[in-house]
A and B are shown apart, each in its own frame.
Chain A
Amino acid sequence: DIQMTQSPSSLSASVGDRVTITCQASHDITKYLNWYQQKPGKAPKLLIYDASRLETGVPSRFSGSGSGTDFTFTVSSLQPEDIATYYCQQYDILPCTFGQGTKVEIK
């Protein structure tokens, strides 16, 4: 199985800050990476697919980059409503596997 190593596990930032989360795959997954946002008690919400493509309706302050084994997720200007846990997920090969999650809090 492909292992996804996501970091950091948590972070605290101020409103307006730029926030970056990284995800590293144990094998080359080309571009097949999703980024999800999950708020407490809710289902995950897809934000980014194919590593860098913004899902319809998702604010442009969210972005993704990378290919192969190293990926980055960025919130350009953190907003109060962005408080959530974020997960990367590879879908190059089944079983699709998720990162451990990054909990984002407001400082």
Chain B
Amino acid sequence: EVQLVESGGDLVKPGGSLRLSCAASGFTFSTYSMHWVRQAPGKGLEWVSSISASSTYKYYADSVKGRFTISRDNPKNSLYLQMNSLRAEDTAVYYCARAFEYRNSPGGYWGQGTLVTVSS
């Protein structure tokens, strides 16, 4: 059974940093691209970042470019999102999602999400 479990969400002050983790199991992690998608309270879904299976390609939304860094550790079956220079507008539930086999998009497997709150 495919499982994705996010962790690391917390309350952080504006300008602070946080590192989110996503633990994957039930599939060959090293063969799939992975994504982060976020959802601000009461708002819609916003794609944040993706990373290819071997970490060769990394993509970011303009809203986080230069502040967030996506990475992965394939032997540890883990995905990460390093978030720096956090702003109030980064407050959201952050989901990790596995990509389709054939196309780089979030697909049918998502974690339960972890809440990041940026507030003084």
Q: A residues touching B (Cβ–Cβ < 8 Å)?
A: 1, 32, 34, 36, 38, 42-46, 49, 55-56, 87, 89, 91, 94-101
Interface residues on chain B, number (Cβ under 8 Å) = 21
A87/B45 in contact, CB under 8 A? yes
B44/A95 in contact, CB under 8 A? no
Q: How far does the alpha carbon of A96 sit from the alpha carbon of B112 in the complex, in Å? A: 20
A44/B45 in contact, CB under 8 A? yes
B44/A101 in contact, CB under 8 A? yes
* Interface presence of B80 (CB below 8 A): no
| Selected contact of B106 from candidates A32, A38, A96, A101, CB within 8 Å | A96
- A89-B45, A98-B47 known; A43+B111 contact, CB < 8 A: yes
Q: B residues touching A (Cβ–Cβ < 8 Å)?
A: 37, 44-47, 50, 59, 61-62, 95, 100, 103-108, 110-113
Closest to B96 in A: A43
| Selected contact of B100 from candidates A1, A49, A94, A99, CB within 8 Å | A49
Please, which residues of chain B bring their CB within 8 A of the CB of A97? 47
21 A-B pairs (CB sep. < 8 Å): A42-B112, A43-B110, A43-B111, A44-B37, A44-B95, A44-B110, A49-B100, A49-B108, A55-B108, A56-B108, A89-B45, A89-B105, A89-B106, A91-B100, A94-B47, A94-B104, A95-B61, A97-B47, A98-B46, A100-B44, A101-B45
